[in-house]
Amino acid sequence: MKPLMDNILPYRRFFVTMAMLVLVMVMAGAMAQEPDKRHVTPVTPETNKVLPPPKGTDEKIIQQYISGDSTEAMAEARRDSLRRVYKRYPLLTDVAFGLNIAEPLFMAFGQTYASADVNATLNMWNRLQPTVELGLGWAKSTPDDMNYTYHGKPSPYFKVGANYNFLFKNSPDYQAYLGIRLGYSTFTYDITDVRYLNSYWDEVLPGEIKGERSHALWGEAGAGLRAKLYGPISLGWIIRYHGIFNYGKSDHSRPWFIPGYGPRSGSLGFSLSIYYVLPLHRKEATTTTTTQQP
């Protein structure tokens, strides 16, 4: 036994050194496997403050924050922000009653024909606007380079169509729109002071055509503006480009003037109307201010 111990003792220092090295390696491995720990800044009364929600935040969103459901609260805040990008007007926003005074004014400056109408426009969501126009047209004119006088008797016409308001995000008091119309009229006219050359006798002879009846169907596309003047009174104008689909002809003549359209050979029209606007809702539209996200 003693000879065995004498043989081991010289290696004792070696075994102790190896044991200590293994122990150090085990401890280092254990420390490497522990997850990093966050260093939390101590909370002091000065930093532990709850900031108030942004102005205009919906009460439902505030309650979600209080209950700790911040994820859903943030999602709802984003949805609410999108809903409040622009004003949301009700289905029936207002109705405007107008009187077209353009051509009667032009007659005061020498124009020899006119079409005057009353119109009604229903404003839906402050965007889509169905409209109807009813009016009378008349004429008494000797067209340039023509050998007759045209008498268009006062005759009715009507138009139906719609506008699209591009300022739907703003107040209905101010509008910029494009519109289309379909118009129709049935009318009577006389042609007098007709002077034609008799080639046999080489002389000018008078003539006339009375009681001619006709009708016309046409379409229009236009752009216009409308602005508030005072209270419920507004002023608006529209420039129209129009074209005839069909009109009645006779063996003796063609209509020179079409009520609601103007001279048959023309392609442009102009309307100037005074409007009385009647609101159809009580509550104001949703504010345009975008909700600030928490």
User: Which tokens belong to 152?
Assistant: 């268009």
Element (H, E) at 185: strand 174-198
Give the confidence band of 252 by pLDDT, cuts at 50, 70, 90: confident
Please classify residue 153 by burial: count the beta carbons closer than 10 Å to its beta carbon, then call 0-12 exposed, 13-18 middle and 19+ buried.
middle
Return the domain boundaries, the chain. Answer: 2-29, 92-279
Q: Is the pLDDT of residue 169 over 70?
A: yes
Q: Is the pLDDT of residue 228 over 80?
A: yes
Which one has a higher pLDDT value, 56 or 98?
98
- Tell which residue, 49, 57, 51, 55, has the closest CA to residue 73: 57
Give the confidence band of 98 by pLDDT, cuts at 50, 70, 90: very high
pLDDT in tens, 110-129: 899 999 999 999 999 999 99
Q: Is the pLDDT of residue 130 over 60?
A: yes
Q: What mean pLDDT comes out for the span 138-145?
A: 84
When mean pLDDT is compared over 70-84, 187-201, 207-221, the highest value belongs to: 207-221
Fold of 92-279: Porin (2.40.160)
Length of the chain: 294
**pTM of the entire predicted model:** 0.65
Q: Is the pLDDT of residue 57 over 80?
A: no
Q: Is the pLDDT of residue 175 over 50?
A: yes
